[in-house]
Amino acid sequence: MRLRKFGSGLISVLALAASIGMAHAKSDIIVAMQLEPPHLDPTSAAAGAIDSVLYSNVFEGLTRFGPDGSVNPGLAESWTISEDGKTYTFNLRPGVMFHDGTEMTAEDVKFSLERARADDSANAQKALFAGIENVEVVDPQTVKVTLSAPNGSFLFNMAWGDAVIVAPESIENIKSNPVGTGAFKFSNWVQGDRIELEKNADYWGEPTKLDKATFKFISDPTAAFAAVMAEDVNAFVGFPAPENLPQFEADPRFQVLVGSTEGETILSTNNKLPPLDNLNVRKAIAHAIDRQAIIDGAMFGYGTPIGTHFAPHNPDYVDLTANSKYDPELSKKLLTEAGHPDGFTTTLKLPPPSYARRGGEIIAAQLRAVGIETEITNLEWAQWLEQVFKGKDYGLTIVSHTEPMDIGIYARPDYYFQYDSPEFQKLFTDLTAENDPEKRSELLKKAQEMISNDYVNGYLFQLAFPTVANAKIKGLWENQPTQATDLTGVYWED
């Protein structure tokens, strides 16, 4: 009895504490996401979580991605491209200040690009900078970049989070104290829990409507559901439990945005491992797969079927799903032609995301129906990178390739698909050198068709990006043209 009294007393004290803590003004936001950044330097790690917090909020590049994936002016106000396509002259915005109060000048641009392409660079996307031959400071507001060969995607490359402009004065502590030029400045990081940003009053562009933004990291899907339901967080970007989305859609407190991403989810295939080196065998696998069943079963209906390695929202996308439509009978016939009338056995190695683990079970069942047996192994990411990606010790695996416009990986014979097609490599060289938008579009379409006809991988679906947010929040990005949570245009209604 006494214990019970004590308990209820405690609870009322705590409830009081709660009501004091809950009042909040409408100029701050708590955004949750699943993964925490390992550190805060977007230019020296692949972790998408770094960009998800900092891209365009804290750090900006010469160019930047818009919500639709277009490449817009960033710190460079304008630019001119020389006749031969090799020299880019960027005119920088005047009066741009880093958060530590120093001015952003052409020297900083030179420093950032030189650092990314240096021999000891730890930039995860070093290939973006490979074509740069020379970076020249013309005057504090102008920088001239010379390429060794014309590169039609150079402006696109400079919009990546890995190409943001950093300052030599603050580079030493960038991993724990990032200093950029963006509309928000970094204020605090409680590791394992949250990162806090605050409004940059000296921003060169339109100031943000939010005074404060907090990113919280909740990895467990059940905990994510509870946090949104209890309104502990105002928005959850990349909500990890698609099965709960209908419940949020039915609740007037919330809005659900389901956007597209750059994540082509594919059944990656080891093109050098028999019998997968046989085109007919890969074609048989492609026809054995029922994409919609995988999207429904593994992703609860969220995802767009794809027939090649290209994002469907891109204007240059070609719908090639008919090229590998679900046809088990054809699949069996192809297997017989390839000399495997009774099928064969191969490995299916699955990394941790649920699209892979759940999708893997379904694909295994679909392949079994045409006679292909798979031995499923579940791997951690570190093991997957070691065995599959680096060691190429696998038959099949399921991965979402989230880098934007990454069809170029098919031109790398040492990539883990081990797809070695001189024809494709030549096509890609031509594409890189091409500056004319129309011709580029044509070549991109050709590239998509080529890998689809070669059945390099099983093309499954484009990963969807669900966001659950308070119904009063406006200006959130729906799509993910790059991994980013751009809060610069976000505000609370009324």
Least separation in angstroms between residue 381's CB and other proteins is 6
What would the DSSP string read from start to end of 433-458?
H---HHHHHHHHHHHHHHHHHTT-SE
Angle at 179 between CA 173 and CA 184, to 5 degrees: 140
Least separation in angstroms between residue 21's CB and other proteins is 6
Give 121 or 141: the residue with its C-beta nearer to other proteins: 121
The answer to whether 283 and 334 are in contact (CB under 8 A) is yes
Least separation in angstroms between residue 416's CB and other proteins is 8
Candidates 38-46, 84-92, 100-108, 138-146: pick the segment binding other proteins (CB under 8 A).
38-46
Q: Does 47 bind other proteins (CB under 8 A)?
A: yes
Within residues 388-417, the interface with other proteins by CB under 8 A covers 389-390, 401, 403, 406, 409
Give 22 or 322: the residue with its C-beta nearer to other proteins: 22
Q: Does 494 bind other proteins (CB under 8 A)?
A: no
Give 136 or 193: the residue with its C-beta nearer to other proteins: 193
Query: Residues binding other proteins: what is the number (CB under 8 A)?
Result: 57
Q: Binding residue for other proteins (CB under 8 A) from 23, 201, 382, 423?
A: 382
Residues 6+ apart with CB under 8 A from 109: 62, 75, 90, 92, 135, 137, 143, 165
Give 329 or 414: the residue with its C-beta nearer to other proteins: 414
The C-alpha atoms of residue 27 and residue 29 are separated, in whole angstroms, by 7
Q: Does 383 bind other proteins (CB under 8 A)?
A: yes
Q: Binding residue for other proteins (CB under 8 A) from 381, 426, 429, 474?
A: 381
Give 82 or 222: the residue with its C-beta nearer to other proteins: 222
Q: Binding residue for other proteins (CB under 8 A) from 71, 81, 227, 362?
A: 227
The C-alpha atoms of residue 292 and residue 461 are separated, in whole angstroms, by 9
Give the count of beta carbons closer than 10 Å to the beta carbon of residue 389. 17
Torsion of CA 215, 478, 289, 393, to 10 degrees: -40
Candidates 146-154, 200-208, 210-218, 246-254: pick the segment binding other proteins (CB under 8 A).
210-218
The answer to whether 48 and 60 are in contact (CB under 8 A) is no
Q: Binding residue for other proteins (CB under 8 A) from 38, 95, 168, 274?
A: 38
Helices (H), 250-290: 279-288
The answer to whether 69 and 259 are in contact (CB under 8 A) is no
Candidates 14-22, 198-206, 362-370, 483-491: pick the segment binding other proteins (CB under 8 A).
14-22
Q: How far is CA 471 from CA 131, 248, 249, in A?
A: 45, 10, 10
Give 22 or 201: the residue with its C-beta nearer to other proteins: 22
Q: Does 13 bind other proteins (CB under 8 A)?
A: yes
Q: Binding residue for other proteins (CB under 8 A) from 71, 81, 97, 127?
A: 127
Least separation in angstroms between residue 58's CB and other proteins is 17
Beta bridge partners of 474: 491
User: Long-range CB contacts (< 8 A, 24+ apart) of 33-36?
Assistant: 33/215, 33/216, 33/217, 33/218, 33/236, 33/237, 33/238, 33/485, 34/217, 34/218, 34/219, 34/224, 34/238, 34/240, 35/217, 35/219, 36/191, 36/192, 36/217, 36/219
Least separation in angstroms between residue 207's CB and other proteins is 28
Which amino acid is residue 61, in one-letter code? G
Q: Binding residue for other proteins (CB under 8 A) from 11, 138, 149, 365?
A: 11
Q: Does 25 bind other proteins (CB under 8 A)?
A: no
Nearest to 164 by CA among 80, 41, 45, 262: 41
Q: What are the counts of helices (DSSP H) followed by strands (DSSP E) for the chain?
A: 13, 19
- Cis peptide preceding 275, ω within 30 of 0: yes
Q: Binding residue for other proteins (CB under 8 A) from 386, 436, 478, 493?
A: 386
Q: Binding residue for other proteins (CB under 8 A) from 190, 207, 436, 437?
A: 190
Which amino acid is residue 71, in one-letter code? V
Contacting positions for other proteins (CB under 8 A): 3, 11, 13-15, 17-18, 21, 36, 38-39, 44-47, 119-127, 175-176, 190-194, 216-220, 222-223, 226-227, 229-230, 232, 352, 380-383, 385-387, 389-390, 401, 403, 406, 409
